[in-house]
Structures are given as structure tokens and as C-alpha cells.
Amino acid sequence: MIERPIIALDFDSKAEITTFLNQFPSEESLFVKVGMEIFYQEGPAIVDWLKKAGHNIFLDLKLHDIPNTVERSMTGLAKMGVAITTVQAAGGLEMMQQAKEGLKKGTAVGESVPQVIAVTQLTSTSQEQMQKEQLIQATLEESVLHYAKIAQEADLDGVVCAAWEASKIHETTTQDFMCLTPGIRPQGSAVDDQKRVVTPNKARALGSSAIVVGRPITLASDPYKAYQEIKTDWKEANK
Ligand code: C5P
């Protein structure tokens, strides 16, 4: 269980991130998501800068390539000292195994190996599209559960999934397999472009192990207050 909500730093520049983070007490250690948009703009320096400010990093680059390339890339990412990374499960069992190997190779002695979790089917993919374009003759749910199982076989630490998928994923894998969930909205807040949302508390009740929250915090008039409320709701036992 990751006790702090992971804040998605979906901004276009380091300057915007600076303005955002300045609204938090300087001693507050956050868990933040750096996605490919900002990483491709600012490069590894953004990770280094956030780490030096005392934050933990979920580096969400969704690697998907031949096993050797992914292994070598993960070695580099591990050297950056991130806490969690991601791959696409569609890259296959061997690619996921080598992702983990690469992370181990790149981790300095005495440091902990970054966790790696898999994206199964993107939420932007419909069942019809999956069947037509990927020629997968299963239901979307079967595909998600199958990928989760393979990810665990590859010694990955978990998957990115919707809250309502978490309990079935835990049944198919194990209870300690991480289910990291986006699509979180506090009671009464704007849904934005998310189709199905859950509150932090509901995500916990449904079995999520970690939550990623963007706009409810980044667009709030008082981001620190919004963050604290979401954190409290997430940490409270079932209401
Ligand atoms: O602003 P919001 O809370 O909707 O942001 C959620 C974050 O999680 C964004 O960075 C988004 O890209 C990511 N995400 C998502 N749904 C998925 C996978 C990732 O919203 N299925």
C-alpha cells in the first residue's frame, strides 16, 4: 500500500511545476508521477531536480520494445533513482523479465531496486477495437487479467488498473501485487475527460494499492488543501 496519493505532474514545463510545487510546504515529501510529456521536454534533469527536493518519483514511460532494448533502458532509469517505472504488458513475458533484470543491474549496491508495473490494455482501447485491431478473441477483462498474470510471472510488482478491476486482479495474482489506480475524483469534483471515476476511499475499498491523482490537485485553487483531503480520504478505513 502506498500511503501518499501520487500526484500526476501533467504540466508542460519545469516552470509550471515549480509554480505548482511552491504551493506546498517545502518540507512536505511528495510522491509524484513524471509522464512522458514532461520527460521528453525536460529530460532526466527533471527527475534529478524533483529527487533533490525530497520527492519520490513514479516515472511513467511505458516502455515497449525488444527485450534487450528495454533491459538496457531500464538500467539507465534505475540509475536515476526512481521508485516506480512502467512497461506495456503487450511487449511480452521475456520483455518484462528483462525490464526487471535491467532495473536490478542499474541499481547501486545498498539502494532499493525500482518497482516496475505493467500497463495491460490502455483504457482508451475498447473491447471491439482490441478484437478487431489486435485480433485478440477474448473479452477486455480476460485480456487484462491474463496480462496481469503474465506480469506477475515475469516478477513485476503490479499493474496499472481501474479500481473495479483490482479485486479480480488480486484473485488472479496475489494480494500483494500492486494495483495502481488513476481515474480518482473526490466527492463532488469535476470528472473532466475520465469516463468512470471513483473517490479515493472507494478505490481503497475496491482493493487499489495506490492512487494517481492529477487535476483534482493540480487545478485546485488550494492544491495543498486538496492533496491533504484526498490523502485523508484514501487513508481512512471504509466509511
Ligand atoms: O487529471 P487526472 O486525475 O484525470 O489524471 C490522471 C493521470 O493518470 C493522468 O496523468 C493520466 O494520463 C493517467 N492515466 C489515466 N487513466 C489511465 C492511465 C493513466 O487517467 N487509464
108-112 average pLDDT score: 95
157: domain CATH number is 3.20.20.70
Residue 75 located in a structural domain = yes
Q: Nine-digit cell at 172?
A: 488472479
Backbone φ and ψ of 157, nearest 5°: -95, -15
Residue 176 located in a structural domain = yes
- As for how many domains the chain has, the answer is 1
Query: What's the pLDDT at 149?
Result: 98
Residue 35 located in a structural domain = yes
Residue 62 located in a structural domain = yes
Residue 32 located in a structural domain = yes
- Measuring from atom 21 of ligand 1, which residue has the nearest CA? 123
Query: What's the pLDDT at 239?
Result: 59
Q: What is the pLDDT of residues 200-226, one digit of tens each?
A: 999 999 999 999 999 999 999 999 999
170-191 average pLDDT score: 96
pTM of structure:
0.96
Residue 41 located in a structural domain = yes
Residue 66 located in a structural domain = yes
Q: What pLDDT band is residue 238 in, cutting at 50, 70 and 90? A: low
Query: What's the pLDDT at 163?
Result: 96
- Measuring from atom 3 of ligand 1, which residue has the nearest CA? 214
Taking 80 as the threshold, does the pLDDT of residue 237 lie above it? no
Mean pLDDT of all residues belonging to the chain: 96
Alpha helices, DSSP H, located in the chain: 14-21, 36-42, 44-52, 67-79, 93-106, 127-133, 140-153, 166-172, 200-206, 215-218, 223-235
Q: What is the pLDDT of residues 52-84, one digit of tens each?
A: 999 999 999 999 999 999 999 999 999 999 999
Q: Mutate which of 6, 9, 10, 193 to test ligand 1's pocket (most atoms within 8 Å of Cβ)?
A: 10
Q: Is 101 in the pocket of ligand 1 (CB under 6 A)?
A: no
Beta strand 6-8 with 84-88 is unpaired
Taking 70 as the threshold, does the pLDDT of residue 15 lie above it? yes
Q: Active-site residue 231, yes or no?
A: no
More confident residue, 53 or 123: 53
Range of the domain at 231: 6-236
Residue 1 located in a structural domain = no
Query: What's the pLDDT at 193?
Result: 87
How far CA 19 is from CA of 11, 13, 14, 24, 52, in Å, comes to 10, 10, 9, 10, 17
